[in-house]
Structure 1
């Protein structure tokens, strides 16, 4: 029974990630569950991406704002983890000679800030679990405040990485551009997650 449940969860997560990766290519069919996601995503900065990333979670959400925010945060953690691994790989292989020292340093700095960002998001996931177990308003507000603070900090780290990789105007770098694209994607889904977290109310 446990193996079946585990298999179902893995299947759902993989499906959600595949839908998110194809954001902008497909529009999910309207159902009561996807209508709830669409209406909730209107408050985000990137509503189309929000719908595309979360539509695969629809059957498990039960029109619950807290579960929706949890799913959005999970997407952000997955994307941040993949981006951090991507930057680490480039940083390890990138040359550090005189002509590349500046770019190599920027990539190393980006890896550090993305690692911090991922840590903040993982802490947020744990805090979301604690908030789900909190029955009193004061406890709920404490956990929600921590969530908002840490997800905001994660966004700041992502922005810092992108600022550090900004082109210097003298030459274009495919490496910088590829990293910025990955991190920008993480920033978009993290921004959406924060917007949905901000909509959570006690008792939801």
Structure 2
């Protein structure tokens, strides 16, 4: 009985030791380098490659070398930026002392960025429903929805900036809104490029 117990304990310890053994550092470093290289290479096809790399490198462990995970990460980053921009313009809309044209332009921006957030959220959910097979009617349908919504989200973001065109709305508020929406549009533009790359240029 004692010998049997000792044997069982040794087997248990061996199992725990094997499970707790750290991954090969060289293998982990190689995987991380490969993921980073994949992201940098993919981002070179976007309009704002430096921003693309900077925003997605932290997702490398999840992305690895998956075009779908890369597109999903880009959409998630874009959604986060759009949500932040929505909070910003909602806060501006509550300011007192706004001129009528400022109120109207900001109100329009609130609606535009709300649509952007909604479309990016739908795009992320649609990407998850695609599956891994990048061909066939099912894929084409899901991909078509994502591409359409992300493109519309980009248009919405740019429409707000257009609404502040002209000297009549010059000032710090205009500069702040333009900077926020332009930045959000850059993220969305990159996401759209990576989505299209994932779809094989459909």
TM-score scaled by structure 2?
A: 0.79
**For the structure 1 residues 82 and 64, does the alpha-carbon distance in structure 2 shift closer, same or farther, using more than 3 Å as the test?**
same
* Pair 1:152–1:32, CA change in 2 (3 A): same
Instruction: Work out whether residues 106 and 164 of structure 1, in 8 Å CA contact, stay in contact via their aligned partners in 2.
Output: yes
Structure 2: any 5+ residue segments left out of the alignment?
1-31
Q: Which has the higher helix share?
A: 2
**Cα RMSD after superposing both structures:** 1.8
Residue equivalent to 2:125: 126
CA 1:196–1:111: 2 relative to 1, 3 Å: same
- Equivalent in the alignment of 1:47: 49
Which structure has the bigger radius of gyration? 2
Partner in structure 2 of residue 64 of structure 1: 66
- Aligned-partner Cα distance in 2 for 1:171–1:120: 28
* Residues 159, 171 of structure 1: alpha-carbon distance in 2 compared, 3 angstrom cutoff: closer
The structural deviation recorded for 1:57 is 0.5
- 8 Å CA contact 2:161–2:182 kept in 1: the answer is yes
> Structure 1: any 5+ residue segments left out of the alignment?
1-29
Give the Cα separation in 1 of the matches to 2:125 and 2:74: 14
1:93-138 deviations in Å (ceiling 9; x for gaps):
2434xxx111111011111111111111111111111113668621
Distance 2:51 2:65 in 1: 19
In 2, distance between residues paired with 1:46 and 1:133?
27
Any idea what SS the aligned residue of 2:137 has?
Answer: helix
The two structures have a TM-score, normalised by structure 1, of 0.78
Give the Cα–Cα distance (whole angstroms) in 2 for the partners of residues 119 and 93 of structure 1: 25
Following TM superposition, the consecutive aligned residue runs of length 4 or more in structure 1 with deviations greater than 4 angstroms are 133-136
